[in-house]
Amino acid sequence: MPAATQLQAVWTNAGSFGSETVPPVSAAPLAFDPAPTITLSGAWNGQLDVAVIALDATSTAVASGTAVVDIVPGASSKVTIQLAVTPLEDAGSPDDALHEPLDADTSRSSDAGF
């Protein structure tokens, strides 16, 4: 996978959404050992659709992946999202993959954060 300097996550559930980019400013290439978490307020329930996009130093998407996880109020749910490189010529099917965990912490809180 080309060097990624940021991860952008977008999550949706029943018409609500949130997003976060880490780190906030592009920095050195990421050493893929992240296990970011999302903390949701108690108003979220059902299934959470999560998309993660790996960005390079120019904020160009170099890989992406999606997953769905069940929200369990007051509990944590883990989901592994496979990041796949997208060929530049067609922006279609992935040709390389990297597995990264993303924890969805669904305990009650007053804000959503990554």
pLDDT single digits (tens) 18-47 = 998 888 888 888 876 556 677 777 778 889
Listed by start position, the domains of the chain span 6-24+35-105
pLDDT at 78 over 70: yes
What is the distance of C-alpha 85 from the center of its chain? 15
Long-range contacts of 25-29 (CB under 8 A, 24+ apart): 26/55, 26/57, 26/59, 29/3, 29/4, 29/5
Edge-to-edge strand list for the sheet holding 76-85: 16-22, 6-13, 46-55, 61-71, 76-85, 96-105, 37-39
Q: Is the pTM of this model over 0.75?
A: no
Q: What is the mean pLDDT of residues 59-64?
A: 92
